[in-house]
Structure 1
Amino acid sequence: MKDWQNHIESTPDVLKGKPRIKNTRIPVSLILGYLASEYDFEEIIEEFPDLTKDDIKACLRYARDLSEFELTA
């Protein structure tokens, strides 16, 4: 499986820099919200046909990496 960086980007000129699925305006937070609401991958793809299962998996890996972030002094 490819790293989440291959699927997610953040640029200041789109969605005020919020992380989003590459080449879309679909924020990672929206996809995570759907997953938290117990939508399965197929239901999310029905709502957003431009997404792939790998895009959705990348959102989960991105969230995991953020949760493991350690602040160093």
Structure 2
Amino acid sequence: MGKKQKTTWAEAKKRCRLNQADIQMAKELGMTPKSLLKNIPSPSQQWKAPVKVWVRELYEEKFGATHD
């Protein structure tokens, strides 16, 4: 059996098209890189917001404002 690779913030940043402020918001929300990657919408999930938008909405809901 192969070893499981640990997901890094750099990989999540690249695959989810996030900037450093988005990563900081995700960390403050207690998210992990793996949770971000799991929430990338597939082509059949048209209703699902991109990870960047999703993180910003959750952050604004919890803390009231975004980093920008």
TM-score normalised by the chain length of structure 1: 0.28
TM-score normalised by the chain length of structure 2: 0.30
